[in-house]
Amino acid sequence: MNKNEYIKKLAEYIHDLPKEVSEEILYDYEEHFRMGMEKGRNEEEIAVSLGDPKNIARQFIAENMIKKAENTTSANNIIRAIFAAVGLGFFNLVIVLGPAIGLIGLFIGLFAAAFSVTISGGAIFLAGTFGPVFSGGYYIPFSPIVSIPLGIGITCLGLLMNIGVFYLSKIFYRLSISYLKMNLQIITNRRSK
């Protein structure tokens, strides 16, 4: 593959990146060709030494997605960054996607538990407050004197759990970004050798 074919393929693969980023990447690779030719190497040798344009583009896309997730915190951005990192190789399917699915499941469970505790506390409070009025002759095991403070306490516990899970998720978000950066750096260093 000659220089023009290589640059054209690379440009096709990175066309979704921001224009200034893709222009900088293309300029850098044109410089690689220029410097290699100054050293007496031909374009085909330089193209082989640089590697597959598709793999290079995947690395730049993953790097861009990770930066985007780092700068703008959202579930959508971190999921895109994870899938971009998974696209770098089969090994990342286990190393990146496995822990990501586990963490997502963990946080869904934690948020569901915190939400359930909050709702059950509210239900106990409402049953203690309005139960004697609307019981219709049914036996209510707790008196309002017990169930109202108990309901308020459980609701507060649920709200505290929600706050705790929220802050825990922010910490894990930052840790996930660091993990993805480290993974990308390892892959980049391994491919450059």
**pLDDT tops 60 at residue 137:** no
What pLDDT is stored for residue 128 in this prediction? 80
What pLDDT is stored for residue 139 in this prediction? 57
Phi–psi pair at 51, nearest 5 degrees = 100, 175
Task: Tell how far CA 54 is from the center of its chain.
Answer: 23
Average pLDDT for 89-95: 78
Percent of the chain with pLDDT over 70: 92
* Residues 163-189 pLDDT 10s: 999 999 999 999 999 999 998 888 777
Which is higher by pLDDT, 134 or 101?
A: 101
Average pLDDT, the chain: 87
* Residues 4-63 pLDDT 10s: 899 999 999 998 898 998 999 999 999 988 998 898 888 888 888 888 899 889 889 999
Q: How many helices (H) and strands (E) does the chain have?
A: 8, 0
Q: Where are the domains of the chain?
A: 90-192
What pLDDT is stored for residue 90 in this prediction? 76
What pLDDT is stored for residue 126 in this prediction? 86
Helix (H) or strand (E) holding 157: helix 144-192
Read off the DSSP letter of residue 95.
I
Average pLDDT for 92-102: 85
Average pLDDT for 111-129: 91
Which is higher by pLDDT, 49 or 118?
A: 118
Determine the Cα–Cα distance for residues 193 and 188; give it in Å rounded to an integer.
9
What pLDDT is stored for residue 113 in this prediction? 97
Determine the Cα–Cα distance for residues 56 and 87; give it in Å rounded to an integer.
12
Percent of the chain with pLDDT over 90: 40
Q: Which residues contact 55 (CB under 8 A, 6 or more apart)?
A: 88, 191
Q: Which of 39-53, 77-91, 125-139, 140-154 is predicted with the least confidence, judged by mean pLDDT?
A: 125-139
Please state the pTM of the whole predicted model: 0.73
